Amino acid sequence: MIAQTHGPFRGIGVALLTLFDNNGDLLAEQTAHLAERLVSESSVAAVVISGTTGEAMALEEWERISLLREVRAVIPSKLGVPLIAGTGAPSARQAARMTERAAAEGADAILALSPPFTNDPRPYYDEVVKAAGDVPVLAYHYPAVSHPGIALEVLADLPVAGCKDSSGDPGRLVKALSSEGPALYVGSDQLLCQAGALGAAGAILALANSHAELCARAFAGDADAQAALAAPATIAAKGFPSGYKTLAAERWGTPTYSRLPG
């Protein structure tokens, strides 16, 4: 297999939860505090804000920027832990605008979900990469959320530094890591042992909000750690993102309110 050594980080990144009070109002400072604890106490290698787990689809643009500013304040660039901003949107125009703002606010990298209803997202990513300037962009393949996602033959042509793959498809993982292409980050905690063994650059995981250390061990090849992730994953599967918020609350005492109905 071809080891994935490039990309903005290597190891376990957290798909950070966004915290709200019981009225559904954004708790940007508390979200930043959670990120700070995950970096200092769980040693996550990167922090992704305003992604799917962060309920990006339920956030206003100003809320995304507020989150970025607050997290940037507690995780400065000098720490060497990349802050990756989710900027995906249905249209290239929307995604490019959000990408430009995120880059200006100090994001170390961009994560852009592929646009829906197209088999050719290349024009979309051309616009996003242009808007990002010198900030690296990660494509995001998650067909369950934005169908049809990114075909492997298209992925190889994208001007991106890496790709998060949340398809959970082990066959696709093998194919992606058997050919030249951007750095690959898995989004499925069930594939950590396999991804690490095959040479993936890392993972970006919702489960890292509560079990980052166990995720890191599984990625490093610990089969017992991979098996141990099954129990928290079962809890998380009871609702999205409410299941992950339940797990985080048990570990960190964080609020569990979600704007999304899951």
Q: Does the pLDDT at position 5 exceed 60? A: no
Q: Does the pLDDT at position 185 exceed 90? A: yes
Q: Indicate the pLDDT class of residue 2, thresholds 50, 70 and 90.
A: very low
Please state, as a whole number, how many other Cβ atoms lie within 10 Å of the Cβ of residue 163. 27
- Is residue 187 situated within a structural domain? yes
* Alpha-carbon span 131 to 137, nearest angstrom: 10
Give me the pLDDT at residue 49, please. Answer: 98
- Is residue 71 situated within a structural domain? yes
pTM of this prediction?
Answer: 0.96
| pLDDT tens profile 200-209 | 999 999 999 9
The arithmetic mean of pLDDT across residues 44-70, rounded, is 97
- Is residue 15 situated within a structural domain? yes
Q: Which residue has the higher pLDDT, 20 or 262?
A: 20
- Is residue 257 situated within a structural domain? no
How many structural domains compose the chain? Answer: 1
Q: Indicate the pLDDT class of residue 181, thresholds 50, 70 and 90.
A: confident
- Is residue 44 situated within a structural domain? yes
* Phi-psi domain of 80 (left: phi exceeds 0; alpha: psi -120 through 50; beta: other): left
Residue 56, domain CATH: 3.20.20.70
Q: Which domain holds residue 52?
A: 11-252
Alpha carbon 81 to its chain centroid, in Å, reads 14
- Is residue 6 situated within a structural domain? no
- The mean predicted confidence, pLDDT, of the chain is 96
- Is residue 262 situated within a structural domain? no
- Is residue 168 situated within a structural domain? yes
* Alpha-carbon span 202 to 133, nearest angstrom: 24
